[in-house]
Amino acid sequence: MIRPHGSKELMPKIVNTEAEKDALLESAKAMKKMVVNSAAAANLVMLGAGYFTPLDGFMGKKEVISVANDMQLNSGLFWPTPVVNLTNKDLDFKDGEEIALVDPNVEGDQIIAIQKVDKIEKLTSDEIDNIVEKVYGTKDKSHPGVKTFYDQGDTLISGNVSVLNFSYFEKDFGETFRTAMQIRSSIESKGWENVVAFQTRNPMHRAHEELCRMAGERVNADGILIHMLLGKLKPGDIPADVRDSAIRTMIEHYFPKDYVMITGYGFDMLYAGPREALLHAVFRQNCGCSYLIVGRDHAGVGDFYGAFDAQDIFDSLPEGALLIKIFKADHTAYSKKLNKVVMMRDVDDHSKEDFVILSGTKVREMLSKGESLPKEFARPEVAEVLMKHYMKE
């Protein structure tokens, strides 16, 4: 199986035994506490679950700037996005002190991790602007990821972490949430060696379904990993539980048995386009996947990125930066001429009118009115799951 990123084995930061966890929670009673923001909590889940191997914890100022400018950790290893614990609060922590980090997304002041503070550093407004510009390609606060980063504050708390739990993800998505360790173990137990990963934050329509099928066939994959984001999205995106149900319905009806693994991960969407596509590749490599499907405007939002920027950025990486390969996909849609789903680049004799294409707005409008989606666009069983959601709103 493909090696994890920058390591011979996964390096999850989750505390392994109940005894160790209980001891840390007992120690935490005497520690200063800090309620982290949702982005930092999501980073902790990814650190705990092995997805962010080989990171030990939250980055310091020098490393954040290096990652933003050059996509390199202090060690020189490739890394595409900052992993930070930022705050806008005044702190009285000292360097070397252990602090208890409180989960903002779970009631009852649940401690999600213990952090050993390395440094507390201020970022200047110019430094924050530079980080945002490099990572997101824009400083426009109408971009949801940009707004989230600016809102986190200017005080950076770096240091190693010991993660105590996976926030709300195991409880709310018990059937779907999986750590990188669990996914690797499942791939190994199935005897798969060549796995294609598909990233999604949306329900899968027929175009997505066929894209997975095409990618699997073209790279001769043993199986497909459907890996859905379970964390915070922007307003208007379909909730994770509805998306999960829709995807499971599609796989059950339209894919061979034991060819697809349906899993999810606990992270908040960055909407960082090309940089987030690189991050997706890093943690899919850590999951044991050989390929990641990178489609049109992967991880993008609005009109902030070009259609294929997220593919092109991989071509600019130094050799050996990543072991995982990408499957470059064009927009897929149902062809009225050929009566099947195709990649648009493969049919140069088609015009726009030859495809069945619906905007997200149109889809939501139809479902809200109880209207069936065209069978060329969505499987009827999937459309029914989505319609029930929209009719309740």
User: Which residues belong to the active site?
Assistant: 201-202
- Helices (H) and strands (E) counted in the chain, each on its own, are 13, 15
Spatial contact of 103 and 167, defined as CB atoms under 8 Å apart: yes
Distance CA 333, CA 356 (A): 6
Contact 95, 64 (CB under 8 A): no
What b/e readout covers 102-111, taking b as 16+ CB neighbours within 10 angstroms? Answer: bbbbeeeeeb
How far apart (Å, rounded) are the C-alpha atoms in residues 28 and 26?
Answer: 5
CA distance 386 to 389: 5
Strand (E) or helix (H) holding 129: helix 125-136
Task: For residue 57, give Cα distances in angstroms to 53, 113, 127, 279.
Answer: 10, 10, 21, 16
Nearest to 172 by CA among 77, 87, 107: 107
